[in-house]
Amino acid sequence: MKLYIVPSPIGNLADITYRAVKILEEADLVLAEDTRTSSVLLKHYQINKPITPYHQHNEHKITQHLVQQLLDGKTMALLTDAGTPGVSDPGFLLVRECTRAGIAVECLPGATAFVPALVDSGIPMNRFAFEGFLPLKKGRHTLLTQLATEERTIVFYESPMRLVKTLADFIQYFGPERPCSVSRELTKMFEETKRGTLQEVHDYFSQKGVKGEIVVVVQGLA
């Protein structure tokens, strides 16, 4: 019995390790945030395995059932749509319950969107805080007020629909001259990284359409 946490490509299907493919081939069951997305990956690597949904809307209902199946001797591999499960995606609850039940859990190294965005940003990366997605309403003001004095580099995830608004909020709380970097469509054909001050980057994306998943890197308070 064992649960494998398997990072999946964030765009380019070639960005998966040989070991990850081997684990997916050997697992008794694949758990997927979106079975349609993960089926594309499995089909690409000619992997034919049972696949079941595991996402934020059902994880509280089925976690104990999965734990029991693992205790009965099954091996499972957990996938999210892109990147490493548990990093702003489902995974934590299942890992916690498995460890409580004495089930072995192993996370494979692999794709995570914020790492290439951080390295490519040109902003100091020796110390950083990963915040993931900001709260949409409740707690947003409090968190941004706290982060305004954060000295470490700060990394956020954001959707293309909310990017310009979020950059405007950053200008309000962090100041227009704070250095930042926005990376989108990482590993894909139209990958782009825009660097500059918050004001410059805000103005740039205000004047063009925004597509793809977004990573925003903001320099800490000097």
Query: 2-107, superfamily in CATH?
Result: Tetrapyrrole methylase, N-terminal domain (3.40.1010.10)
The average confidence (pLDDT) of the chain is 96
**CA-CA-CA-CA torsion sign (118, 122, 127, 131):** negative
* Segment 30-69, tens digit of pLDDT: 999 999 999 999 999 999 999 999 999 999 999 999 999 9
pLDDT given for residue 180 in this prediction: 98
With tokens 């765009």, the residue in question is 11
Annotated domain spans of the chain: 2-107, 114-218
β-strands 29-32, 51-53 pairing: parallel
Start-to-end CA distance of the chain, whole Å, equals 49
DSSP string, 26-63: H-SEEEESSHHHHHHHHHHTT----EEE--TTTHHHHH
CATH T-level fold of 114-218: 3.30.950
pLDDT given for residue 196 in this prediction: 98
Give CB contacts under 8 A, 24+ apart, made by 203-210: 205/163, 205/164, 205/167, 206/164, 210/160, 210/161, 210/163, 210/164, 210/184
Could you tell me the pTM of the whole model? 0.92
Q: Helices 163-174 and 140-147 meet at what angle, rounded to 10?
A: 50
* Segment 174-200, tens digit of pLDDT: 999 999 999 999 999 999 999 999 999
Has residue 17 got a pLDDT over 90?
Answer: yes
Has residue 209 got a pLDDT over 90?
Answer: no
